[in-house]
Structure formats: C-alpha cells, structure tokens
Amino acid sequence: MLRNKLVYLIATVMFFILLAYLGIRTLEHEVLLRHYQTQTLAEAETARVAAGIENLLQQKASRLHAISDFIDPDDATALTALNDQDRDINAVFTLRKNQLLYPDERQPLSNEEREWVRQLTPLVNDPSLLTSHIPHAEQETPQAGWFITHETQEPLLLYWRQKGNLVIGFRLSYVQLMMDIVNSIQVSEAQDDPVVRVTENGRQLYQNKAAQLQQLTELDTRTLEYPLTTWQISVYGVKAPLYHVWLWGSALIILLLAVVALLGYSLWREYTRSARQARQQVDFVSQVSHELKTPLTNITLYAELLREGLDDEQTHEQRYLDVITQEGQRLSRLIQNILTFTRAPKTHLQTVDIPRLMAEITHIFTPAFHARGMVIEMTCPPDITLHTDRDAITQIVSNFLSNAEKYAALGKRVDINVQTLTDRVEIAVRDYGPGIAEKEMKMIFRPFYRVKSSITEGVSGTGIGLTIASQLAQRLHGEIRVTQENPGVRFTLTLPQG
C-alpha cells in the first residue's frame, strides 16, 4: 500500500510539473505573440508611409521625364517660362559635356541666376557626379535619375535626363515636395492608433497627432532610399502592458492545477475506499469460511460414524451417506479455495472420466432442482477422459448449476452439453432464465461483483464464485466463455485435450 502511495504521489507531482511547465510556456508564447503583432503592425505602418512617399517621388520623376520629352533644350525662352510657371520646378539647366548652356553665363544674369550657376559649378566640372550614386556596369551609363546634395542651405534636389550629348536637369522645389508628401500621407489620427513621425536629419517634417514622444516607445523606424536618405519614418506607441496576461494566465493555471489536484485526490480516495472495501470483504469471507471448517469437519466425522452403524442391506442409506461424505469433502476443498482465492488455486491432476463425473454432478443437483420445479438434461458422449483436476471441474460446473438454480428458476430447465472437438473438450451449461445484460458479461468475473437486477434481489451470494471458477479454468489451461441465448445464457468451460 505504501509503495502504491509513493508511485501515485510521484506520478501526480510529475503531472503537476508538466502541467505547470506547459502553462508557463503557453503564457510566454502568448506574450511573444502579442509583442510580435505590435511590432508587425508598426513595421507595416512604416512600410506603408515609406511606399507612399517613394511613390509620390516616382510620380514627380515621371512627370519631369515627360516634360523633358516635349521641351526644346535650346529654347531659352521656353526654359525660363517653365521655371516661372511650374510650381514643382525651381530652376532648369542644360549641360553639354563641361559646358553650361543654360543659364548662359555670357548673358546678363540676376543674382538668383548667378547663385544657381554657382551651385551647378561642381556638376559642370564633373558631370559624372550625376551617376556616381547609381550602381551600373562600366559599359552602361544611366540615362536619367535623381541627384541631391546637402552642401547648400536648402538641399539641392535635381532630376536629370540625358538627351543625346545634352543633359537637361530640373531643380525640384524642396518646400513644395515636403508639402506634397505631408498632404499625401494617409495616417489615422485616432487616439489609440500609433504616432507616425517623419523627420529629415532630426528635423520634424510631419507628425500625425500631438503626443509626448518621451512617454512613448519607438516601435519601428525606417530610412528612405536615395535621394531622400536623410529622411526617416518612425512609429511610436504604447506597448500594451502584458502583466494582465501573466496575472490571468497564472490564475487559470493555478485553478486548473487545483481542479486536477481535487480530481486526483478524489480518485485516490475512491481507489483506497474500493481497496479497503475489497480487503474487508476478503477478510470477512476468510473469517466466515474459517468458522465453517469446524462444523463441516464434525459433519464428515459423524457421517463416517453413521456409515459404520449401517448393515449391508441398507443400500439407500449407504448411497445417501456417500453423497454426504463426498459433498462434505468437496465443500472442505471449496472452503480452502475461498480462503486462498486471491492466490493461484492448487490443482491435483489425475485421469478423469468426464461422462461419469457429469453424471455424479447431475445426480447431486437433481434433488435441489426438483424442489424448485426444474429439470436437468445432460448430453455427453461416452469414453471422454482428460488428465485434469477432478475437483476443479466439479467446482466450476457446480458453480454454473448453482447460479442457474438461484437466478434462472423461472426457465424450469437447465441443459448440460459435453462435446469433443479436435483439440479440446467443451462443457456447456445453458439455462432458460432472463439472461445477463451484454454490458455485464465481462464484469461478472470480477471479485465481489453481482449483477444488479430484480432477479438477484433477495438471493444470497458473495460474488466470488465465478472469480474462483475463472482462476481454476486458467490453472487447467482452459477458459470460460459466456454467451447470450434466447432465452437464457450459456456458460462454456473449454479444456485442452492431451
């Protein structure tokens, strides 16, 4: 019992540890999943805003490229008009090799135009600066693209295009670009949504709503591609406090452990109660059986004394005394088996004449069956012998007949049928009573189990008869089968031949 308690305790503790470990791992997974969702949403927001800005810049590049197709680079008047009328364009230049064609330094220039020429001087001296930032093979020269420099007070952002041996370029209005980008950003300003901030070298260009960034967490940041490499998009938000996940998750785990503990305790209580009850039943049967041995010994002794007082002419009395003596001896062996039914019963192998044994058993039970209005029909082929235990077979078949007498009296009939097969002998006892429910067929061999029905009410019994019969059959290398008949039930003892 102590060993069972120790095993149960170790198994319970291991199960608790496993359950707690799985619960903690589940909570960790939930916390990481929520962090991942927050991070993923922030990254998606920065990617969306960055794609919008880069798409707007691409639209302006396409527009300027189209303008360069239709304008005459040699028409200074058209170039000047474009500079004055297009809000996206601050200035225009044309360049052939290392010579600036427009603005023409040979013509009178305003202060603004002279400053524009001064800013273009590095490109005039080295036109390859326009393509230096663009990855390309030596034999392939880019034909258009962006160029930016931050050496001036306002960044110089150019879009240029190669047309033959001429380069035409447009200076993009940086202020207008920032205004267009700010107006194009579509970001929610709801209170619970994150804060989106666009900066250039730390200078704020856009923020979707007023907020104290010191109180928020930077969830993601992204730098735009060339030419806006000094621009950054940042997303700020409040990381959801996940202590409540741990709090409620831990409470749920503790509750689950408590339920499992309660269930385990209930199962242990039920197991110990059943074991204690079974032990009490065993002790009770052992005590009763032990008390029966003394009067049974006296009955056998006085039967022997009575036999000695009979003369040879009293044949009926002699036969009755033989039955009393034989049944007394069999009852003694039965009591011994009851006392030791939890252990393997002992067997005494000998050559047994099965037809004769069946006739003796039928003869013993006939008076009791007649008293209840029942008949026994026996069918047994002659000359069947087995090397087996006579008492064990007698006890098994007697148990079948005793159950039929107690529970199937309404059928008025019991059949004993013996048949030989190739490698076995089957002894079947079939009654014509109410039978046994299908769900209880396997349970009737359990110790102390009795079928609960109106047929068994008021009928005495310990519930160990079939248990002992099953043990005896196993010791004889046989088996007992129970099959439902219509009406009644059939108990079949199968024994090996040889």
The rounded distance, in Å, linking the Cα atoms of 160 and 142 is 10
Query: Which residue type, as a one-letter code, is found at position 365?
Result: F
Listed ranges 338-342, 428-432, 444-448; the one with the highest mean pLDDT: 428-432
Predicted confidence at residue 104, as pLDDT, reads 87
Alpha carbons 46 and 50: distance in angstroms, whole number: 6
Helix, strand, or coil here: 193? Answer: coil
pLDDT of residue 186: 75
Residues 6+ apart with CB under 8 A from 498: 387, 423
Higher pLDDT, 464 or 353: 353
Average pLDDT estimate for 11-19: 76
Indicate if the pLDDT at residue 462 is higher than 70.
no
Q: According to the model, what pLDDT value does residue 399 have?
A: 86
Asked if the model's pLDDT at residue 163 lies above 70, the reply is yes
> Region 313-329: what's the mean pLDDT?
73
pLDDT of 343 reads: 55
- Give dist(CA 271, CA 266) in Å, integer: 8
Over range 137-150, report the average pLDDT: 82
- What letter would DSSP give residue 448? T
Comparing 254-258, 294-298, 338-342, 444-448, the range with the smallest average pLDDT is 338-342
Q: Measured between alpha carbons, how far is 430 from 490 in angstroms, rounded to an integer?
A: 4
Range 166-172 average pLDDT: 92
Residue 168 in this model has a pLDDT that exceeds 90: yes
Give 159's contacts (C-beta < 8 A, 6+ positions apart): 60, 61, 64, 65, 144, 145, 146, 147, 169, 170, 172
pLDDT digits (tens, 9 = 90+) for 439-453: 777 778 777 666 655
Top pLDDT among 451 and 488 is at 488
Q: Which residues pair with 99 in a beta bridge?
A: 96
Which residues are CB-contacts of 10 (< 8 A; sequence separation ≥ 6)? none
- Side-chain half-sphere exposure of 124, counting CA atoms within 13 A: 16
Q: How far apart are CA 464 and CA 320, in angstroms?
A: 29
Peptide bond into 103 cis (omega under 30): yes
Rounded Cα gap, residues 493 and 480, in angstroms: 5
How far is it, in rounded angstroms, from Cα 140 to Cα 449? 96
pLDDT at 177: 87
Q: Of 324, 462, 320, 330, nearest to 393 (Cα)?
A: 330
Write down the pLDDT at residue 494.
Answer: 93
Q: How many residues does the chain have?
A: 498
Which of 176-180, 447-451, 492-496 bottoms out in mean pLDDT, i.e. has the lowest?
447-451
* pLDDT tens per residue across span 386-421: 999 988 899 899 889 988 888 888 888 999 999 998
Mean pLDDT of all residues belonging to the chain: 81
CB 174 within 8 A of CB 187: no
pLDDT per residue as tens digits for the range 237-268: 876 666 666 677 777 778 877 887 788 778 77
Q: Cα(164)–Cα(169) distance, rounded to whole angstroms? A: 14
CA 74 to chain centre: 78
**What is the Cα–Cα distance from 466 to 37, expressed in whole angstroms?**
66
pLDDT given for residue 241 in this prediction: 61
pLDDT of residue 408: 84
Is the pLDDT assigned to residue 184 strictly greater than 60? yes
Measured distance CA(302)–CA(120) in Å, rounded:
141
pLDDT at 329: 66
**Pick the residue with more confidence: 22 or 326?**
22
Q: Are 299 and 328 in contact (CB under 8 A)?
A: yes
Range in 353-362, 366-375, 444-453 with the lowest mean pLDDT = 444-453
Mean per-residue pLDDT, 163-177: 89
> What is the distance between the alpha carbons of residues 183 and 89, in angstroms, rounded to a whole number?
18
Q: How far apart are the first and last CA of the chain?
A: 42
What pLDDT is recorded for position 160? 92
Q: How confident is the model at residue 94 (pLDDT cuts 50, 70, 90)?
A: very high
Checking if the pLDDT of 429 tops 90, the result is yes
pLDDT band at 97 (very low <50, low <70, confident <90, very high): confident
Say if residue 171's pLDDT is above 90. yes
Average pLDDT on 347-363 reads 89
Q: Which of 404, 411, 401 is nearest to 363 (CA)?
A: 401
Residue 8 has pLDDT above 70, yes or no: no
CA atoms within 13 A on the CB side of 331: 18
Mean pLDDT of 306-315: 72
Domains of the chain: 1-240 (no CATH), 344-496 (3.30.565.10)
pLDDT for residue 448: 67
Residue scoring higher pLDDT (429 or 210) = 429
Let me know: does 374 contact 338? Beta carbons within 8 Å.
no
Joined tokens for residue 472: 């005896």
pLDDT (0 to 100) of residue 414: 93
